[in-house]
Amino acid sequence: MNRKIFWILLLGSWWSSFASAQETTQQVAKPGEIVAQLASEVADAETVISNAWVIDWMKQVGKLPAVEAWQIESNGKQITIDEGMFYYARYGSPLAYARALDLAVTSGFEPATGAKIFDFGYGSIGHLRMLALMGHHCVGVDVAPFLKRMYANANGPLGDGSVFVYDGQFPKEEALTEKVGQDFDLVISKNVLKKGYIHPSREVSDPRMLIDLGVDDATFLASVAAMLKPNGLFVIYNFCPAKAATDKPYIPWAEGESPFSKDAFVRAGFEVLHLDVVDDAEARRLGHALGWDAAGGMNLDTDLFAWYTIIRKNSDKEAGTQP
């Protein structure tokens, strides 16, 4: 994938930019071509990851099913869906989830075979398929209609696990929330739950640059708590570009801190393990390992920033002692 296009996607632009690029500049990838390319990146990327389970997950990328190209309609245009589009989609390489998963394991996620994992704003299916190949059961939700069309036939068992992705607003839509289910071991959200998207610190002229959860913060967090097992983890990880100077136009997706306060998490029944931790150095190590700063790419020191927040649902015993 063209690295300029990759960074448009990763740091917050629109599907229309990618669709246009796919129409005009992108050669159609052969089945297996992108999977092989991703597999070639693992050797360097695993050197910046601390947990053996996450390294094993990264190695599953070479086992992803090959994809034959086909077409879907988007905004009245025919868009080619090849293996690159299928596995990169809106947010680039599935390996970009490595740091968030590494932090989850370090913070107490114990990924026994058959773990249930929910991704809020999943963006692409590759990382979920890699988890399924390890025997885990994954559910993703997003609101982008093109994902619904692209992954219309992608749901079901894979390896010893499974992947199911759905379109709609969680938890606003009751039927969707019921379909997603409960008893998850891990809830993860990457590049979606940003303060700038949910509670921007400056006025935003175009509401399309924001994310409407459809419910208030308390309802959203209560719904996440309800879907997690006791002691289950909720991981928010955000890559961001540099924040704009005060005299420059505001960039909502650059404000990557948590949109929710510590008090809001606690009221919803969570223990806050890490709140708004700056992760620039580790994000840049991963970016370099994955070649994001290769020729035509970005300057990692000035263009890439990251934050994470990790909270744990209280155990049943702890929940029973809450005032």
d(Cα 193, Cα 120) in Å, to the nearest integer?
A: 9
Question: What are residue 3's phi and psi, to 5 degrees?
Answer: -70, -30
Let me know: does 167 contact 143? Beta carbons within 8 Å.
Answer: yes
At residue 92, the pLDDT reads 82
pLDDT of residue 205: 87
In sequence order, the 6+-apart residues with CB closer than 8 A to the CB of 305 are 239, 240, 241, 242, 243, 254, 256, 278, 280, 283
Tokens of 252: 């909502």
CA of 115: how far to CAs of 165, 263, 275, 302, in Å? 16, 29, 25, 37
Q: pLDDT confidence of 300, banded at 50, 70, 90? A: very high
> Sorting pLDDT into bands at 50, 70 and 90, what band is 1?
very low
Residue 9 has a pLDDT of 43
Yes or no: is domain 92-320 CATH 3.40.50.150? yes
Q: Residue 84: exposed, middle, or buried by beta-carbon count in 10 A (0-12, 13-18, 19+)?
A: buried
Task: Output the pLDDT for position 19.
Answer: 41
**Which residues, at least 6 apart from 5, have a Cβ–Cβ distance to it below 8 Å?**
17, 18, 21, 25, 26
* DSSP strand pairing (137-142 vs 161-167): parallel
Q: Summarize pLDDT for 246-264 with one digit per residue, the tens.
A: 999 999 999 999 999 999 9
Across 20-34, 93-107, 132-146, least confident range? 20-34
* Closest C-alpha to 311, from 254, 281, 268, 278: 268
pLDDT at 77: 86
Relative to beta strand 70-74, strand 137-142 is unpaired
- Structure confidence at residue 145 as a pLDDT band (50, 70, 90): confident
Entry pTM:
0.91
97 or 317: which carries more pLDDT confidence? 97
- For the cut 80, the answer to whether the pLDDT of residue 24 exceeds it is no
For 277, what's the count of Cα atoms within 13 Å in the CB-facing half-sphere?
17
Q: Who has greater pLDDT, 90 or 166?
A: 166
| Average confidence score pLDDT of the chain | 90
pLDDT band (50, 70, 90) for residue 301: very high
Dump pLDDT digits (tens) for 65-86.
999 999 988 778 888 999 999 9
pLDDT(321) > 60: no
Query: Tell me, what's the pLDDT at 90?
Result: 66
Handedness of CA 41, 42, 45, 47 (dihedral sign): negative
Residue 152, CB-side half-sphere exposure with 13 Å CA sphere: 9
pLDDT at 26: 59
Q: Please state, as a whole number, how many other Cβ atoms lie within 10 Å of the Cβ of residue 85.
A: 25
User: Looking at the predicted structure, is the pLDDT value of residue 35 above 80?
Assistant: yes
* pLDDT tens-digit series, residues 90-115: 678 999 999 999 999 999 999 988 99
Round to the nearest angstrom and report the end-to-end CA distance of the chain: 52
Alpha-carbon distance of 89 to 265, in angstroms, equals: 31
pLDDT of the residue at 278: 98
pLDDT band at residue 11 under the 50/70/90 scheme:
low
- Of the listed ranges 4-18, 192-206, 224-238, the least confidently predicted one is 4-18
Residue 61's pLDDT is 98
Choice among 21-35, 43-57, 112-126 with the minimum mean pLDDT: 21-35
Least confident of 13-17, 167-171, 210-214, 223-227: 13-17
CB 14 within 8 A of CB 146: no
CA distance 31 to 39: 14
